[in-house]
Amino acid sequence: MTLDEFFTGHDDSRRIFEIVREAVAAIGPTDIRVTKSQVAFRRRTGFAYVWMPDMYLGKGDVPLVLTVGLRRRDDSPRWKEIVEPAPGSFTHHLELRSESDIDGKVCRWLQEAWEQAA
């Protein structure tokens, strides 16, 4: 699947995704893998993912969710949900409603995840 196919009919989600992609590209080399359920940013392993909740939960007001994998639990109140699928591996979900949601703090989380995925 291509990015164009993934985001067909989801222009708001695509605009936000492009800001996430620019933020990741500014960190360093990254592979992008597109599946029918998500777009993954990878180095040796995946470190960040974007997906559209309305694909699973029906129409809503959140165009995109950014999922960031960290080796620690970050207690920022911005996270919608944090889970620990394996000891010492924390999955953080951040709802993105606009391009401005990708700020310096989000870039620092992406940097940390990118470094850990080496």
Please write the tens of the pLDDT for every residue from 40-89.
Answer: 999 999 999 999 998 777 667 899 999 999 999 999 999 999 999 999 99
pLDDT at 104 over 70: yes
pLDDT number for residue 56: 73
pLDDT number for residue 54: 83
Measured over all CA atoms, what is the biggest interatomic distance in the chain, rounded to whole angstroms? 38
Residue-wise burial string across 72-105, b where 16 or more C-beta atoms lie within 10 A, e elsewhere: eeeeeeebeebeeeeeeebbbbbbbeeeebbeee
pLDDT at 2 over 70: yes
- Set out the domains of the chain in order of their start, with CATH numbers: 3-116 (3.90.1150)
Contact 107, 35 (CB under 8 A): no
Please tell me the pTM assigned to this model.
0.95
pLDDT number for residue 59: 67
pLDDT number for residue 62: 95
Contact 52, 60 (CB under 8 A): no
